[in-house]
Structure 1
C-alpha cells in the first residue's frame, strides 16, 4: 500500500493544544462499521454503546518525567529524552547536542550529583546512555513531562497527561485514548455490568514517527515492552467464550491484545490469548485479520503513521478516510489532547 493512502490535510488549528475539562466532556465520534454511519456524541455518552458482559481493556502505563537537562564538560547544555530502560542504570535515549560523551546533571533533592556516559548508538537517532546511579528515583526532581512535538502550549497540570488509572511507570508518551476517562465514568461503566481489565504497554516516541518509506509494508515497526497479565488473559478468554465483546481502549491496548494471540497455535487451542510479558513488534496494517478486538476507542492520529495504518486495518480504509474527512469538516480536535472515536 502506498504511503499516500495514509495522508490527509489537517488545518493546524484543529491540533488540540490543551485537554478539555472535565476529561469526559470531549467529543466522541461513534463509527459503526456494519452500517458505515456516524453519530456525534460526547465521551460521557460511552456507556450507551456498551452492553452488560462486555470487557473493556485499558493500558495502565504511566508517563515518566523522561525529559532531562544536563551539561557537557565544556558547559554546553544537553537534553536527554529517555525512551526505554535497558537495565538498572542504562537507557535508550535521544540526546540533543553534538559529540556528547559525558553529561552532568543538577544535584537532586538529596544532594546527589548524577552523571551519564553515552556509550553507543541505538538505531538511527537514539543512543545508549549509562547513568552513574539509577535515574528513576530522581525523575520527579530532575525530569519534565515529555509532551509530543505538536503540542506547543505549556501544560499547567502534568496529571492531565496521565490516565486516571496509570500505575506502571515507563512510558515516554501517554496512551491518549484513556485520557478521556474519569473515575466517575469508570464507576458508571462497571455498575452496568461491564468488566474492566488492564494490560501494560510502555509507549515510545516512535509512536509519533511518520512512515518514511514509499510503501507501508516497507516500514520497520518499533518494538515496545508490554505485559498481558494472567487475570486479564482469563477475562478475555471468558468474555469471548460467553459471546461478549472485547473493547480495546486505544491502539496500545489493541496491540497488546493482538500480540497475546500471536503465540497461540489457533488450531489447537480453545483460548483466545495467553499471558505474556516482553517486547512486541506486531505491525498491524490493512489486511490484518483481527483475532481479539471487537471494538476500539481511539483518538485521531497523525497522517502517515503506523497508528493510522492500524485504524485503517480495523475499520477499512475507505470508511476511515470518510470518517477523518467528516471529523475535519465537523471541527473535531485532533491528536493527544483531542477528541475520541468509538469504532464498533
Structure 2
C-alpha cells in the first residue's frame, strides 16, 4: 500500500465508524482525498498597533433593539447560516465587551465544541459576548471549515469561510458594543486551522487566535497578516490525528505545534527563541498532575504575545477542565500581558 493510501485509510477509517472531531471525544478531523486551495491573499505585514476600524467600539444607537437580550442566547442568521450568540447578563452598551468566537472541528458541531472547550460559563462570568457559528456540510453531511489545503474542505466545493466569519464578527459588532482590542477566535482541530486563517486574513478584526490541535500551513508564504495577532497554540504530544510534530493530509502539509508558534513569532516580530514559563498548567483532567508546559516568545510587536501550551501525553481531544477556560480567557481579557504560568489558570 502506498504512503498516501495508508494515510487516507488511517484518516477515513474512524470517520466511517461515526466519530467526530469534538474535543469531548477523540475523533478524526481532517481527513481524506483532496482539498480546494484556500491560501490567504498576500499582504504586507505591519508592526502597527491593532486597528479599531472594524469592528468599531462605538456603542449602537440607544434606541436600537439588540437581537439577543442580555442574559440570554439565541440564533442569529448571517448569510443564511445560524450563529448562536450568548450575551452576558451584565452587558451594557456603554461599556464595550470582548467577543469570543468558538469554531468546531471537522464533522463536529457548535454544540460539540461548546461542550468540549467549556468556555461558555466563564465567558458569561467575565462579561464576554460568545458566538458559535456553523460550518458547511460536505457531501457526506459533515460540517467543515475551508481553512487550508491540509484541512478540511475535502470533496466539497470551495467556501469563503474567511469572508463569512469576518461578516459574523461585523454583524455582532453592528448590534453590540464590541471591544476591538479583544476579539478572539478559538477553534479545535479544523476550527484551529480556521482560527489561524482568520488571523492571517483579518488581523484588522481578530486580535487573538487560539488553536487547539490545529496547525499552520507548512508554506511560510501562506500567511501575511496586516498587523500583529496574539496567538496560543495548544496541542497534545500524543495527538494521532493532527500530529504534534507536524505532518500532512492528501490535501497538503501542516507544520508542527512548535513550528506553528514559531511561525507566528516571526510574523509578530518576536524574539527568535521562546522562554519556558515557571511551573505547569493542569489543563487535561484525564491526565495526572499539571501536565502542560508553557513556552512564550518575548518582544513581539505592538505588545502581542505568542505562546505554546504543550499538553504532555494529551490526545487530539483532551479532557479539558476549568483551567483551560481560565487560561484562554485570561489571554482574551489581556492579549498583551506577558505569560504568567498559573495566573488565573
* TM-score normalised by L of structure 2: 0.32
- Identify, as 1 or 2, the structure richer in strand: 1
Q: Report the TM-score, using the length of structure 1 for normalisation.
A: 0.32
Greater Rg by CA = 1
Which structure has more RCO (C-alpha within 8 Å, separation ≥ 6)? 1
